[in-house]
Amino acid sequence: MKQPSSAVWDEKHLRLGVKAAGVALWAWNVETDRLTMDEIGYDLWAIPRDTEVTFEDLSAHIHPADRDRVRAAFDATRGLVGPYETDFRILIGDEVRWISARGRGDDEGIVGDVMFGVFLDVTGRKQAEEANELLAGEMSHRVKNLITVAGALTAMTSRSAATKEEMAHDLTQRLTALGRAQDLVRPVPGQTQNAALLGDLISVVLTPYDDMGAFSGRIRVSVPRVGISEAAATNLALVLHELATNSLKHGALSAQAGLLDVGCQIENDLAVIVWTESGGPQVTAPASDKGFGSKLLSRIMTSHFRGEVIYDWPSDGLIATLKIPTKKLGF
């Protein structure tokens, strides 16, 4: 086999390869604490090029929660055998970047008092990992909720069904409706979801939670005839499903005489959706909202809708007011 020309591995070509890969080179004098970086390194840390910097200068850019850990990790590298890798966050204005510092420990490759290594921008990978962790937590929470909801729907159906055949029929309808609601919460990849009417969306999500027998009609929806975009429909369906699940477990929908009213008014550029529960068990405001469901609901309202949710706790129910800019709903 013909060997590649030595010119392929000369300094010029190596530097082109390093630059193409976005690898920042650094050299650290362990005695003076001075760091020397190439242009990619200075740009990565948003420091003017050719500026003399020390580790302490770079530390000013490291996220406060990571700073002590990173300092200790760098100090420990001289005692490590083999390669090391340390990931940490840096702050560039309001932007958070994830950096991976890599090298070899135990003074391997040290020249005099100078150690060498690289910085890599791994922000994209870290964001993907965080998104996967959030998705895993959301799916775990969803599965637990679905099991609870299925049990509650079974109990609800048994109260109104006269025969086992009627119960089987009604329960099947409920679970089918719950499946349709879940499609709104998490659309199937590759399928197109059309924009819907706000009232239709709310009705589809809440249908599984209504009684079909003697107590039919205890969920009442009254909203203006307005459309809602695909992205907004998915997120609002998730919010409504979370509220309904909590109501079925702890609130008005857990009681035979409980009622739920969902109304909406358009006030200037704001859609105000009011979720009102009554006739349920006596409730008190929770001590905290640290549960995953509460955090998920709050995150959707603030991050996706740039809105807010306000809770009031009358003794026999809950009033949740969702305030969402109409442009976020696609009006």
Q: What is the pLDDT of residues 172-202, one digit of tens each?
A: 766 776 666 566 555 444 444 445 788 888 8
Pairing of strands 259-267, 219-222: parallel
Rounded Cα distance, 290 and 310, in Å: 16
Q: What is the pLDDT of residues 121-151, one digit of tens each?
A: 888 888 888 777 777 776 776 677 667 767 7
Amino acid 310: pLDDT: 93
**Which CATH class for the 11-121 domain?**
alpha beta
CATH architecture of the domain 126-329 equals 2-Layer Sandwich (3.30)
The dihedral formed by the CA atoms of 121, 67, 129 and 132, expressed in degrees to the nearest 10: -150
Residue 270 vs residue 232, higher pLDDT = 270
Nearest to 260 by CA among 200, 316, 305: 316
**Which residue blocks in 88-122 are alpha helix, DSSP H?**
none
Domain residues of the chain, as ranges?
11-121, 126-329
Please identify which residue in the block is written with the tokens 């001590």: 287
Return the number of other C-beta atoms located less than 10 Å from residue 251's C-beta. 23
Cα distances (Å, whole numbers) of residue 74 to 15, 45, 87, 99, 102 = 25, 17, 11, 14, 10
Amino acid 250: pLDDT: 84
Question: Is the pTM of the predicted complex or chain greater than 0.75?
Answer: no
Percent of the chain topping pLDDT 90: 11
Q: What is the pLDDT of residues 263-316, one digit of tens each?
A: 999 988 999 999 999 988 887 777 766 665 677 788 888 888 999 999 998 887
